[in-house]
Structure 1
Amino acid sequence: MDTKKILDGVKVAELSTFVAAPSCARTLAEWGADVIKIESLKGDAGRVFGQNYKTPTEEEENPLFETNNANKKSICINIKTPKGKEALYKILEKSDVFVTNVRSASLKKEGLDYETLKQKFPGLICGHILGYGENGKDRDKAGFDYTAYFARGGVMGPLMEKGSSPINPAVGFGDNQAGLFLTAGICAALYKKAKTGMGERITVSLYHTGVYDSDLMVAATKYLSDKDKWPMTRTAPSSPLINSYKCKDGIWLEICIQEYNRYLVPFCKAIGREDLIANEKFDNVTHASAHAQEMTAIIQDEIAKKDFNDWNTRFRAADLAFEKIQSWDDILNDPQAWENDILREIHYENGHTGVLVNSPIKFQDMGLPELKPAPRLGADTDAVMKDLGYSEEEITQLKLEKSIGGMQRLKV
């Protein structure tokens, strides 16, 4: 079997923080790219943001940073000094791809905007994560997935239970979506470069990603009456067979029967209510939608009579689409996640064991990518600088001038 990695030989320079852009660069690294993570002398703020979620942020154990920065090298450069900028340009000169989430105005100020870089390095591919896009008054507004993706992108509000409070967003959810979209764009640009030798600029915004992830419902909204628009309540869904129900043991399950007319009979048989099949209120999807609240209450009464395991057996036998609504604790103990390499263990230097989620994109011949721990801050500064042609004396002097930084501990 050919185990050569898909992106062997591709060189990536990453100047980014937090999650979205780093997650893109991590995927490229897993696929074989040589990724140099360029950090300020203080380091990526993503090294310490885990403290907001009560997880370790030590160099020896930092799971939230590890998740998006495995398999990379780290170099510390002060790009605001002339010599620091010179070192950065040397890295970019040797790179195929530049990944960043620095705001557009700041990139232009530092001479790192695409038009400037294109003149210097015409073959460079620039992948840029934005908050709100390139145009409009909010093009340089600060944006995280909580705000640009979940809130403004139309994910948070419509998905809450009608009349209740907004959902609590999962950190990194929108970031990871945007990161994978950027990865796809970069791979397409690498194909272009292989054919023409020319670079490209790819942009992905968190706001656009949120809207895109809801594209079916955005399109549908134009046709919905006010009473049918989201948010909705689960007690009166569009279809009673696309809804969540609570079992006797307190476990919630989600049913998704898109072909109502086809599966009404096996569903009613599974819940022991064959009398519903011929009921003119529920005998087809149009009638059921008009009487959704009544049918939902009937189904909930039946589901509440048995534990989830009972329904698991019945619904599987009927070949219905359903699932237990799992917690993250459930996922950590889900054999399906482990047997499909969705999860993997990571062993930290302090003896602790953590769990990381693998990329959902798999290659048959390449197999499961090797996992190398995320680099400590500035761990590869000396090696990268020597590769760029700097002598040990020059490296020492640049450190004294604070144009670059070596391996150091990030203060929290």
Structure 2
Amino acid sequence: MVLKGLKVVEFASYIAAPGAAGIMADWGAQVIKVERPQGDPMRHAFADAKSEITINPTFDMDNRGKRAVVLDISKPEGRDALAKLAAEADVFLTNVRPASLKRAGLDDVTLRATNPRLVYAVVTGYGLEGPDAHLPGFDVTAFWSRAGVARMHTPKGQDPFILRTGVGDHTTSLATVSAILAALYERERTGVGRLVQTSLLATGVYAVGSDLAVQLVLGRVASNRPRSDPFDPVANFYKSRDERWFVLNPRGQSGDWALITAACGRPDLADDDRFKSGKLRKANSQALVAEFEAAFGALDFDEIAARLDGADLVWAPVQTPAEVSADPQVQASGAIVEVEDGQGGIFRSPAAPARFPGADSDRRPPAPRLGQHTHEVLAELGYSPAQIEAMVSAGAAV
């Protein structure tokens, strides 16, 4: 476990920041999740009176292997306990609004004055500076919509569509982990921690950075187009006779064009006057899409797969979540991890997206119950049983 010995205090909720702490926990860090008495709202993601679901895979994914403590920072005893945790930590990770933390004396300047080696990481919707830094943000607002990701993915003339749960959040989780690890590397040289910050907005801008780089330099960028009239008809989605979708992605000027026409059973298209060059294929995009639809639509998926693989072409099936979960290559890539359910069983969950051969963990502990480790962690900080009971009685801890 490559982060063994690293102490992380997470005072956060929802997905982006807990997801970052969850990645570090998967990699061996000791993570203490501090929650307010009502708990992280994601604990209640499936709490629908009409639902018979009694588990919460979304929360479990980002919080497995952590220890859970409940502190009420509106009370002095709760604030003091959180500050003591930060004083012994390597990383303090939060997405609580900075103004609230400053009022509680839990801002980066205050905590790093006590613990100069502390890496204090803040995840926000819109950053720490600027006219809208104070605004609340979720991934569908800050990452997907304001960063331009939604508009760039919506085909021209069509309505924007909603983002699936956690996509922008988990992308920001990865950015946050990278920022924290960079600060820890700097600390190895200087002995001093620092403030680091990530935002859903800036992560969204980077995620579509290839297009935005063009916009910033040229003042315009091509819009996304519908499948029937794509920018590049060869790099497109097609369907087999047995109704399975797949996508092609040719390699530049490598000669894949002729290989694809042969694979679909229409080698004559390679020399068709309408399609002889990339420029002509784009000019006659709709006609080429129609030719490919007819050619691939006459073949079953397994035959198409064999032909494309036989020609060493770049392509992939368009898989449903159920197909992804059963895909042996997904499992072999390390993308799935087993998680204990706390009752003697296990379930499968998405893994942190990196492997460390020889130091991987194929099974993770369960996500903690609300306040499961409060007494244990406070005792480790030096609180006596009587002091802990007094905090619980005062509502400062649960």
Q: Provide the TM-score with structure 1 as the length reference.
A: 0.91
Moved more, 148-157 or 337-346: 337-346
Superposition deviation, residue 88 in structure 1: 0.8
What residue is the counterpart of 2:109 in the other structure? 115
Work out the CA distance in 2 between the residues paired with 1:207 and 1:372.
32
Superposition deviation, residue 162 in structure 1: 3.3
Work out the CA distance in 1 between the residues paired with 2:51 and 2:180.
32
Match of 2:81 among 87, 103, 118: 87
What residue is the counterpart of 2:207 in the other structure? 213
What residue is the counterpart of 1:289 in the other structure? 282
Whether the aligned pair in 1 keeps the contact of 2:120 and 2:195 (CA below 8 Å) is: yes
Q: Deviations over 1:372-392 (max 9, x none)?
A: 111111011111111111110
Code of the aligned partner of 2:367:
A
Match of 2:180 among 164, 186, 201: 186
Distance 1:210 1:181, change over 3 A: same
Aligned length: 397
Whether the aligned pair in 1 keeps the contact of 2:339 and 2:363 (CA below 8 Å) is: no
What residue is the counterpart of 1:104 in the other structure? 98
Unaligned runs of 5+ in 2: none
Code of the aligned partner of 1:87:
A
Whether the aligned pair in 2 keeps the contact of 1:55 and 1:63 (CA below 8 Å) is: no
What residue is the counterpart of 1:24 in the other structure? 20
Query: What are the equivalent positions in structure 2 for 1:95-244 lying under 5 Å apart?
Result: 95-221=89-215, 229-244=222-237
Superposition deviation, residue 122 in structure 1: 1.5
What residue is the counterpart of 2:307 in the other structure? 314
Moved more, 254-263 or 66-75: 254-263
Q: Provide the TM-score with structure 2 as the length reference.
A: 0.94
What residue is the counterpart of 1:11 in the other structure? 7
Superposition deviation, residue 222 in structure 1: 6.0
Superposition deviation, residue 194 in structure 1: 2.0
SS in 2 for 1:85: helix
- The answer to whether the aligner puts 1:253 opposite 2:249 as a matched pair is no
Superposition deviation, residue 220 in structure 1: 3.2
Identity of aligned residues (%): 33
Moved more, 378-387 or 265-274: 265-274
- The answer to whether the aligner puts 1:263 opposite 2:256 as a matched pair is yes
Work out the CA distance in 1 between the residues paired with 2:279 and 2:216.
19
Match of 2:390 among 385, 394, 397: 397
Whether the aligned pair in 1 keeps the contact of 2:39 and 2:370 (CA below 8 Å) is: yes
Moved more, 147-156 or 38-47: 147-156
SS in 2 for 1:396: helix
- The answer to whether the aligner puts 1:50 opposite 2:46 as a matched pair is yes
Distance 1:351 1:99, change over 3 A: same
Whether the aligned pair in 1 keeps the contact of 2:234 and 2:249 (CA below 8 Å) is: yes
Whether the aligned pair in 1 keeps the contact of 2:83 and 2:111 (CA below 8 Å) is: no
Code of the aligned partner of 2:303:
D
Superposition deviation, residue 260 in structure 1: 4.8
Distance 1:352 1:151, change over 3 A: farther
Moved more, 248-257 or 394-403: 248-257
Work out the CA distance in 1 between the residues paired with 2:3 and 2:339.
24
Unaligned runs of 5+ in 1: 406-412
Moved more, 71-80 or 285-294: 285-294
- The answer to whether the aligner puts 1:272 opposite 2:268 as a matched pair is no
